[in-house]
């Protein structure tokens, strides 16, 4: 038997950063995101010997251990080990060997939620193997606890829920880890138009999101008014985006994105930089009506809304910056697992 799973990456469209503590605990956060046809994959294959083999195929990393109930966290493949340790702690895996292999369709640090989505996919493979009775909220919350609390990796809460639920969702975040996922019923032709006009551009740079997120959190703790007000405005941006999509006012989306881009840069130092500002201005000059930095910022993917037929001119304008465009489609499914 082989137990497989895949979970989709997401594009954040509005509200990014308001799902990070302590802001969402004090004020409540709101985010609108959509999953796309880029995935994190996990496969578990039982082995005849009592050996645990961990492989990150995309990063060409591998570790082997004699079977043990808890694997050491040493900075190598810790996401894989963290999920194994928690599943072992809660559900007592049989003392038999297995190989866990993973692959992600986008680079780490690219801003599409790769780490959290990978954790969800690994959980999904174990859920499939052990036939665990876990629902979407259970899996997403488990992924959040493993990544944010047990592995102490800085970040927000949206990615785990986007990967698990899938589709276009308006999410609300509150104190005590309370999350409400509101799936949006957007007419297909509105979504097709958004997909047609929204370019996904990889800057060919990655970033360590933890440092940016720590600055953002510290700004809230220190009650820095500009940063907190920017987060309030981004929460309002999520409402604006929701209304534009549901009402089919798709050509307002660029302006909503541009509003968010200006606010996000005020949240913390390092969210944008000279290169990203230059890319953004070149895209706007070529016809984009707005865009955003994906994830915490500082590098990774950027998205641009290109109304009418301006996307071809925008594509040409971006070609000089050394990055590349990534094809995608919006998808309505989340975590999927199966056995062969």
Catalytic residue among 19, 78, 105, 159: 159
CB burial string 149-161: b at 16+ within 10 A, e below: eebebbbbbbbbb
Catalytic-residue membership of 78:
no
Confirm if 260 and 283 have CB atoms less than 8 A apart: no
Peptide bond into 308 cis (omega under 30): no
Confirm if 288 and 187 have CB atoms less than 8 A apart: no
In order of 36, 116, 123, the CA distances from 161 in angstroms are: 14, 9, 13
Distance separating alpha carbons of residues 300 and 146, to the nearest angstrom: 24
Nearest to 237 by CA among 12, 21, 9: 12
Residue 133 tokens, joined: 């009775």
How close are the terminal C-alpha atoms of the chain, in Å?
6
Distance separating alpha carbons of residues 136 and 127, to the nearest angstrom: 12
Distance separating alpha carbons of residues 232 and 28, to the nearest angstrom: 9
Nearest to 263 by CA among 226, 294, 295: 226
| Secondary structure class of 140 (helix, strand, coil) | helix
Question: Which residues participate in catalysis according to the annotation?
Answer: 159
């Amino acid at each position: 038997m082989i137990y497989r799973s895949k979970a989709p990456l997401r594009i954040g469209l509005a509200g990014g950063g308001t799902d990070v503590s302590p802001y969402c605990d004090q004020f409540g956060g709101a985010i609108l995101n959509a999953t796309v046809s880029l995935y994190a994959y996990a496969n578990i294959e039982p082995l005849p010997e009592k050996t645990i083999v961990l492989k990150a195929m995309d990063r060409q990393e591998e570790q082997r251990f004699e079977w043990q109930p808890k694997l050491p966290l040493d900075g190598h493949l810790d996401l894989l080990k963290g999920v194994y340790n928690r599943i072992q702690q809660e559900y007592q895996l049989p003392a038999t060997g297995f190989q866990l292999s993973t692959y992600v369709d986008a680079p780490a640090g690219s801003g599409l939620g790769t780490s959290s989505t990978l954790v969800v996919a690994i959980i999904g493979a174990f859920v499939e193997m052990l036939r665990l009775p876990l629902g979407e909220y259970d899996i997403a919350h488990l992924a959040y606890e493993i990544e944010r609390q047990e592995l102490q990796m800085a970040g927000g809460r949206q990615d785990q829920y986007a990967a698990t639920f899938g589709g276009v969702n308006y999410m609300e975040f509150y104190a005590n880890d309370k999350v409400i996922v509101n799936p949006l019923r957007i007419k297909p032709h509105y979504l097709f138009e958004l997909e047609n006009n929204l370019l996904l551009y990889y800057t060919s740079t990655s970033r360590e999101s933890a440092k940016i997120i720590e600055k953002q959190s510290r700004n809230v703790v220190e009650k820095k008014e500009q940063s907190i007000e920017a987060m309030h405005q981004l929460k309002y941006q999520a409402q604006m985006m929701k209304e534009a999509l549901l009402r089919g006012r798709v050509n307002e989306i660029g302006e909503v994105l541009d509003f968010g881009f200006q606010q996000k840069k005020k949240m913390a130092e390092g969210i944008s930089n000279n290169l990203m500002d230059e890319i953004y201005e070149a895209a706007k000059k070529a016809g984009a009506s707005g865009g955003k930095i994906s994830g915490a910022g500082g590098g990774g993917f950027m998205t641009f809304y290109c109304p009418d037929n301006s996307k071809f001119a925008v594509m040409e304008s971006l070609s000089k910056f050394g990055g590349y465009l990534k094809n995608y489609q919006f998808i309505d499914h989340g975590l999927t697992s199966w056995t062969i």
